[in-house]
Structure 1
Amino acid sequence: MTATSRAHSFNAAAAQYAANRPSYPPALFDAVEDLAGRPLKGARVVDVGAGTGIATAALYARGARVVAVEPGDGMTAEFRRALPVVPIVRGDGNALPIADASADFLTYAQSWHWTDPERSVPEAVRVLRPGGALALWWNVSDRAVPWIAAQEARIQRRFGAGTGAHGSAERTHGLSGAVDFVRHKVSWSRRVPLDTHLANLGSRSTFLVLGEEGTADILAEERAELTRVFPDGVVEEVYTVDLLLAHRPS
């Protein structure tokens, strides 16, 4: 299965994605502002690979003037239902439909790894104003938590190596020497019903490309395993947000 096929698998499950994927803690956006040296409020922000608008909504709530960029039909339709007041344009990080030197921030929430850095890095430099900030981040399941480590091991046995909570080195492949990033990590958690957790898990591209029949046994196994860990039916998902931020030279 190609990376393109996996990336576009989200379009058929956009509603599931929007309803069950985690958002991001306020501390993440505090860190973005601190590292960028300017507030999001009033800033021109281009949120790339915006999906259903989970990160875009948070940026908008901070007072940013956001324009979203998203290539997928299904994700765009869900975005427009959720955020009708925020403009969204079709495109991706490899060829941004955005004017030169027009953005204070360029953000990628869970989406940079779908780009080709040989193309997306020059595009980021082109679109950012001098001194503007490129911010990439991912919610990473915390493998220091025993039940998460066990779940990720089961998933890797099912799908193969590199399909669990991937390390940041894989996500930032191709950036070494090209962009001078500062890294910051934010730990947080959320408590959700078991059904929400399973739907979140099933919204990963590795599951989506298999379809419902292909993932039914896997999700049934996870339900049985997690019912033993969380007998009250409420799962505490623990995350570390891995943030990388770089400035365009002034």
Structure 2
Amino acid sequence: MSNPSMSGSLELYEECVQPARARFARGEWVTRVIGGELSPDQLELFLLCFCALGVQMTAPVEGWIRRAGERCLAAGLHDLGTALVAHARHEAGHDAMMVDDTRSLAARRSQAGRPVPAVETLLAHPPTPGVRRYVQVHEDVIAGPAPYAQIAIEYEIERLSVTYGPGFIARCVADLGDEVKRCLSFVQDHVELDVGHTKFNARKLDQFLRQRPGALDDLVATGSEALAAYDQFLADALALALGMSTVEAPTRRLASC
């Protein structure tokens, strides 16, 4: 049944991108991490790896969105370009939150007497295939003929916080204790802020599609690839964490720090 709050343009985009969203929902982050298949030790190490590798994913975001917006402005797409440039400013400094969370999670493990990966080494980890793919999606959009497709990236990625963020936090609290939320500032911030961001992105995407219905294929392809790249990044973080952990599932509750 169609959603009466959606216009035909946005509804068509949602229908076309659904296969990519379904593939993401079958990925390891959703099925194994949120699904509760990890031991608490594995989950805690996943959080460490997610935050450390995620610095490379978040540090360029402000610049990516601004550059895409500037390309849109140069192409005469004033409304979308202006919106992207303004939105870029909201993304400044988010990588620092991930650095702080990495250090907080490492301190939590140290205080509890659990093995701690070398934090600086982890923060300096070479880009994984998923990180490289995610970077490439953005750079291809900015340099390519459809810089307006940045709005599809924003919509799909920020929508993840709304769709999966609360369940992810709930899983972390259930397995690691409520105090772990002190180490999840980036995730908690985005779960709260991205509700508004997602509504904004949906409006801009709908407005643009009503003006340029021929852009649908570019928007769907870019949004789908962004989801696939982010899912690969999450799988990379999980693989790195599982390689560090010495505690196998089934889960058991860790003593709080």
Larger radius of gyration, structure 1 or 2? 2
**TM-score over 0.5 for the alignment?**
no
Bigger RCO (CA 8 Å, 6+ sep): 2
Richer in strand (by share): 1
* Alignment TM-score, normalising by the size of structure 1: 0.30
